[in-house]
């Protein structure tokens, strides 16, 4: 989920630096084996002054990647790095991290012509919120850094060429069909096929003060958030972090502008029994996958009975995981944790009880 928003931030920063005549480099995780903190597609931007944005690990690889990125800015030559984070302190190339996994990271100068063209292509695609794939040559005898982007409607651009590379385009199309990012061998070249899926939407019905930490944590977790409320004094953009969409809307209003679909999650917390009931009634008429209802169990039972939804599996109330949460911030964390668990089809539990790798399906 963070893949989309993190990439948008990295691309935006690279473009802003370029407009000032400054340089940057972008590091992308292209393969993960075993245990790792981030997944393939994670982005890390390094500025010419050493400043950074994003990350490719939990903080253990960034210092080394930063030094490589600064050198890549000087040479303009991309590099594919391999880190073996083996389980003992004798691992040389893995820096002795003891993380029991390996990570491959592709580093390219965002100021080089091919990467600059890629950044310029990604920006409008990310703004448009359209699903697309990006295929980049990350290793091989020649053409490292060459790329093609494609949507369901066809190719978007190719670096320094009128017609996109047909082999890369076929791979990008296959990536769109398969629904996953992966590293592929294409003749003598290694290609990272990267799928970009627009982040899920969270609609928060209720713009009270306790909605603010929920919105903040949800955005940081990768959701696109819309806040709706019938009270104009509360439904104001300055109360919420960008890029939150804020709308003044009654439950009986036109929901078409909210774009509710089967990937949408909803949290209802107006603190008004009547408004919570009507928002629940309206949202049950949509395809929303998850509808959370804030408040005690007795209140929730009363509301679902009134709207005839006692057996509706989409309704989560009281909303959130059982974390013994106290106060708006902790409650917000419990709600976002539940949203992530439901989206990931995971039964919440302690990671110490999980025998598989954290990111394994």
In a domain, 361, yes or no: no
What per-residue confidence (pLDDT) applies to 80?
Answer: 97
Residue 167 in contact with residue 222, Cβ under 8 Å?
no
In a domain, 351, yes or no: no
Q: What is the pLDDT along the chain (361 residues), one digit of tens a residue?
A: 789 999 999 999 999 999 999 999 999 999 988 766 788 999 999 999 999 999 998 788 999 999 999 999 999 999 999 988 665 544 434 444 445 678 999 999 999 999 999 999 999 999 888 899 999 999 999 999 999 999 988 887 655 455 568 899 999 999 999 988 999 999 899 999 999 999 999 999 999 999 999 999 999 999 999 999 999 999 999 999 999 999 999 999 999 989 999 999 999 999 999 999 999 999 999 999 999 999 999 999 999 999 999 889 999 999 999 999 999 999 999 999 999 999 989 989 887 887 776 666 5
Is residue 210 domain-shared with residue 147, that is, in the same domain?
no
What per-residue confidence (pLDDT) applies to 248?
Answer: 97
We report the CATH number of the domain holding residue 236 as: 3.40.50.720
Is residue 158 domain-shared with residue 211, that is, in the same domain?
no
Is residue 159 domain-shared with residue 267, that is, in the same domain?
no
User: Residue 198's CB: how many other CB atoms inside 10 A?
Assistant: 14
| Two structure tokens written together for 171 | 């791979």
Is the model's pTM score more than 0.75? yes
Is residue 166 domain-shared with residue 311, that is, in the same domain?
no
Is residue 220 domain-shared with residue 177, that is, in the same domain?
no
In a domain, 357, yes or no: no
HEC readout, 126-149: HHHCCCEEEEEEEECCCCCCCEEE
Is residue 190 domain-shared with residue 207, that is, in the same domain?
no
Residue 44 in contact with residue 34, Cβ under 8 Å?
no
Residue pointed to by tokens 């009634």? 281
Report the number of distinct structural domains present in the chain: 2
Residue 48: burial class (beta carbons within 10 Å; 0-12, 13-18, 19+): middle
What residue numbers bound the domain in which 332 lies? 201-343
Residue 350: burial class (beta carbons within 10 Å; 0-12, 13-18, 19+): exposed
Final residue in a domain of this structure, among 175, 196, 217: 196
Is residue 243 domain-shared with residue 146, that is, in the same domain?
no
Is residue 177 domain-shared with residue 218, that is, in the same domain?
no
Estimate to the nearest angstrom the gap between the alpha carbon of 59 and the chain centroid.
18
Residue pointed to by tokens 């990111």? 359
String of DSSP letters for 176-234: HHHTS-EEEEETTEEEEEEEE-PPPEEEEE--STTHHHHHHHHHHTT-EEEEEES-TTT
In a domain, 109, yes or no: yes
Final residue in a domain of this structure, among 196, 221, 245: 196
d(CA 219, CA 203): 12
Is residue 206 domain-shared with residue 149, that is, in the same domain?
no
In a domain, 70, yes or no: yes
In a domain, 349, yes or no: no
Burial 208-237 (b: 16+ CB within 10 A, else e): bebbbbbbbbbbebbbbbbbbbbeeebbee
What per-residue confidence (pLDDT) applies to 93?
Answer: 43
Is residue 61 domain-shared with residue 136, that is, in the same domain?
yes
Is residue 182 domain-shared with residue 67, that is, in the same domain?
yes
In a domain, 350, yes or no: no
What per-residue confidence (pLDDT) applies to 201?
Answer: 95
Final residue in a domain of this structure, among 176, 196, 216: 196
Is residue 205 domain-shared with residue 290, that is, in the same domain?
yes
In a domain, 80, yes or no: yes
């Amino acid at each position: 989920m963070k893949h989309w928003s993190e990439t948008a931030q990295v691309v935006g920063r690279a473009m802003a630096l370029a407009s000032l005549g400054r340089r940057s480099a972008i590091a992308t995780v292209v393969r993960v084996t075993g245990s790792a903190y981030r997944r393939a597609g994670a982005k890390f931007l390094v500025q010419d002054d050493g400043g950074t944005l994003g990350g490719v690990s939990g903080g253990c690889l960034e210092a080394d990647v930063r030094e490589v990125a600064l050198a890549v800015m000087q040479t303009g030559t991309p590099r594919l790095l391999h880190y073996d984070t083996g389980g003992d302190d004798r691992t040389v190339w893995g820096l002795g991290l003891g993380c029991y996994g390996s990570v491959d990271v592709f580093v390219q100068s965002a100021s080089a012509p091919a990467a600059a063209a890629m950044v310029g292509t990604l920006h409008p695609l990310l703004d448009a919120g359209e699903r697309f794939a990006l295929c980049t040559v990350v290793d091989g005898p020649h053409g490292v850094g060459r790329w093609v982007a494609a949507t369901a409607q066809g190719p978007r651009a190719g670096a320094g060429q009128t017609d996109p590379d047909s082999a890369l385009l076929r791979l990008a199309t296959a990536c769109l069909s398969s629904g996953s990012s992966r590293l592929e061998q294409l003749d003598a070249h290694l290609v990272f096929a990267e799928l970009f899926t627009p982040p899920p939407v969270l609609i928060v019905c209720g713009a009270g003060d306790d909605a603010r930490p929920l919105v903040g944590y949800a955005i940081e977790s990768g959701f696109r958030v819309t806040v709706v409320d019938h009270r104009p004094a509360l439904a104001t953009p300055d109360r919420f972090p960008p890029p939150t969409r804020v709308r003044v809307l009654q439950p009986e209003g036109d929901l078409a502008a909210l774009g509710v679909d089967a990937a949408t999650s909803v949290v209802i917390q107006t603190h008004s029994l009547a408004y919570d009931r009507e928002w629940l009634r309206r949202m049950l008429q949509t395809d929303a996958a998850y509808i959370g209802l804030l408040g005690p169990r007795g209140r929730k039972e009363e509301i679902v009975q009134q709207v005839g939804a006692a057996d509706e599996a989409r309704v989560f109330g009281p909303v959130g995981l059982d974390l013994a949460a106290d106060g708006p911030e902790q409650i917000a964390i419990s709600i976002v944790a539940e949203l992530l668990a439901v989206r990931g089809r995971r039964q919440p539990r302690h990671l110490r009880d999980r025998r598989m790798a954290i990111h394994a399906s």
